[in-house]
Amino acid sequence: MTFTGSVQYSMDLIGIFAFALSGAFLAVRKDFDVFGTIILAEVAGLGGGLFRDLVLGVKPVAFTDPGYYSAPVIAALIVFFSSRIHRHARLSDVFDTCDMAALALFGVTGTVKSLGHGFGTVPAVTLGLASAVGGGVLSSVLAIQVPALFQWTRDLYLLPALTGAVLVAVFRLAGVLNGGTAMAAAVCAIGLRLISMYFGWHTPRAYVWRNPFAGMRQQVVPAGRTSLGGLVGGPGGTGGPPYGSPYGSPDAEHTVMTFRLDDRDSR
């Protein structure tokens, strides 16, 4: 099976619809009205592909093909007017599944399209990743929420999309890229995301957070003294214990953790 335009078109529509569902779920959780829900679904579904086409220097298909801009509208209306969906006990799993499928599909199709326009392997993979995460990042920013891409508490997010994009590039270099191998790359990306969700895998945190005593020292701060400009301590920045004195007296000393930026051990 060759990687024809119909295969890429089908994968694009599935990815757009899945991303639009995740954007619509986010809009409803934020209590947006129907127009806000549609706009956020459009941004989530089309944002990454629009960025990809602008970088490639081609006319964005989001504005030329009715299927591309109609799919997010349908997804938004389904989520907005359905009460049964939001009462579902595993709504978060549905949200993650939509996001997972869209990431894998967009990572694959974005890389394929970039390679087809003469991009090198590394730029094509990079643009494929940008098209995969762009819509989700834009929709989260509009909803005033930290994008899942930057949250270490989420399961592996970027790595599965990167896996799918790299596999597409490898298949292209080996001369075996077609519809079947492209779908296999997407399945591998989805499988890696599912495994990370099952085992609770996360990307690593910064060392100072993994070892909270690196670069920090325990300091005894008398109650009533403002510590760190009033940012540490009890209510109103008084410097007292944040949750009440462990010694039963507001005048008792308490221990706080402060950064020692000039400490060589913290480097």
What pLDDT, in 10s, does the model give residues 103-117? Answer: 888 899 899 999 999
Distance, in Å, from the CA atom of 129 to the CA atom of 18, rounded to the nearest integer, reads 16
- Each as own residue / partner, the long-range contacts of residues 65-69 (CB below 8 Å, 24 or more positions apart, any chain) are 67/9, 67/13, 68/12, 68/13, 68/16, 69/42
Q: Could you tell me which residues come within 8 angstroms of residue 31 by beta carbon, excluding any fewer than 6 positions away?
A: none
Of the listed ranges 55-59, 149-153, 176-180, the least confidently predicted one is: 149-153
As a whole number of angstroms, the distance between CA 210 and CA 195 comes to 23
Residues paired with 262 in a beta bridge: none
Predicted TM-score (pTM) of the model is 0.70
Q: At what angle do helices 5-29 and 91-116 cross, to 10 degrees?
A: 140
Confidence of residue 123 (pLDDT cuts 50, 70, 90): very high
Instruction: Give the integer Cα–Cα distance in Å for 182 and 174.
Output: 13
